[in-house]
Amino acid sequence: MTTADRSPDALDVLAREIRAFPEAVASLRVTPDVTAAEIRAHLAEAYPFDAARPLDAVLPDVARMLRDWSLHVTHPRYFGLFNPAVHPAAVCADALAALYNPQLAAWAHSPAGNEIERHTLAFVARALGLDPAACAMHFTTGGNEANQTALVAALSHVMPAYAERGAAALGERPAVYVSTQSHHSFHKCVRVSGLGEDALRVVPHDDRLRMDAAALRARIDADRAAGWRPVLVVATAGTTGAGIIDDLDALADVAAACGAWYHVDAAWGGAAALSPRLRGAVRGVERADSVTCDAHKWLSVPMGAGMFFTRHPEVLRHAFDVEASYVPPDAPGREDLYRGSLQWSRRFIGLKLFMTLATLGADGMAAALEHQADMGDLLRARLRERGWIVVNDTPLPLACFTHPRIRAGERTTAAVVSAVQARGHAWISDVALTGDERVLRACITNYKTVPADLEILLDELDRALAG
């Protein structure tokens, strides 16, 4: 062990930063004011790696870089993508996971870790209306891996030869159905699975931006007549662009009728199931063959913490099972995760959600979600009062909006976004939902966001609109 490893003050430095930053972040700029050249110059000068430096000297400098040169997604006025403020329990959990470094691939290597994750996943499964005793479920690196798992499971279920002989042996052309509003991870999924982009069949949305069930049925009928085999139908519970929740029951009916695997990508909106008040918004998710849900999107834990659930554990085992002589043999009553999932080496991802739930309790987690939903309702109401036009319809805390001046061509959404971000008091983005029209997008994923933060955002929007 080096002198740097034994530094007596390093942990004190880290503890001070962990204590101070959650409150300090609200006083910082949301958007950094820095160039790549400035960061590179500092790194080249301070860290040539030609000699050891004490850890208690490195830690404060790295913390300073992260404070000064980061977009602060844990800021209460970050209204951007699905990056939440993190609960202190989750920070402690990630530190413990790094300290003990358990390997969760095989149960025998980390009995505690495996059972903690299973216990945590069972709680979420029950909230989603699934029976944990009949499910296969595991943590993933994120939604992309979970969605990839769903596609592999679908192929292995609908076309059993896929697992052994690959895409070239499928015979029929497999089709994957997504909507115009679905997450773009599925573009990667079809490529990685060897199906190619042509396998992705994009279905129009209805006037509420939900996948159109009638259009889906018609597209499937036309594809089958042309030699395609429906393999996977993907519904979304909380689209990235506008927070839209598809008609999950209607799409389940279509998938069942054509024999396709039905997957609900609930990476963000699935968390609503943990709230008694919001749970009805994701009604029908329990009918899915598989579900994606990301704890790191709305459950106040650090990235990444995806979750995958399926009602068909035997399919998952068929899709991923391998035997390795160097791993301790499996035993009844326990599950070796490497044999039923994409990952091999596995970090203790679930500890941060376990400790957050343990600290908050089910009621506390529900209250945090409902507070953010309330802030979303308030933001939409205040936008309308100030003359903005809200264009999406969702119970989730995401507002998409525009303004008569923008629609008249007097100001662009890009100009408004740039002006807001440049001042550093808040962060928003813009998005194209239908056609060429771009609208502004503000999402609340921070349990510390309060009405005063919304008023600052509204003032910044009015200032940016005025130019």
pLDDT score recorded for residue 90: 97
Which domain CATH number covers 171?
A: 3.40.640.10
Identify the CA nearest to 271 among candidates 127, 446, 83: 127
In a domain, 117, yes or no: yes
The token duo for 168 is: 């070239």
In a domain, 69, yes or no: no
| 332-360 per-position pLDDT tens digit | 788 899 999 999 999 999 999 999 999 99
Tell me how far the alpha carbon of residue 245 is from its chain's centroid.
15
User: In 10 A of CB 80, how many CB atoms?
Assistant: 18
The token duo for 123 is: 């709680």
In a domain, 398, yes or no: no
pLDDT score recorded for residue 213: 98
Round to whole Å and give the CA distance between 260 and 256. 6
Round to whole Å and give the CA distance between 213 and 400. 24
pLDDT score recorded for residue 7: 52
pLDDT score recorded for residue 292: 98
pLDDT score recorded for residue 165: 86
Look at the block and give the residue holding tokens 């769903």: 150
The token duo for 356 is: 């957050």
Cβ(301)–Cβ(87) under 8 Å?
yes
pLDDT score recorded for residue 8: 56
In a domain, 303, yes or no: yes
pLDDT score recorded for residue 1: 45
In a domain, 4, yes or no: no
In a domain, 23, yes or no: no
**Residue 377 parent element (H or E):** helix 351-385
In a domain, 207, yes or no: yes
For residue 294, report the phi and psi dihedrals to the nearest 5 degrees.
-105, 115
Q: Tell me how many domains the chain contains.
A: 1
pLDDT score recorded for residue 164: 86
Residues of the chain with pLDDT under 50: 1, 3-4
The token duo for 39 is: 């960061």
Domain containing residue 107:
95-356
Q: How many helices (H) and strands (E) does the chain have?
A: 16, 11
| 149-207 per-position pLDDT tens digit | 999 999 999 988 888 888 777 778 999 999 999 999 999 999 999 999 999 999 999 99
In a domain, 193, yes or no: yes
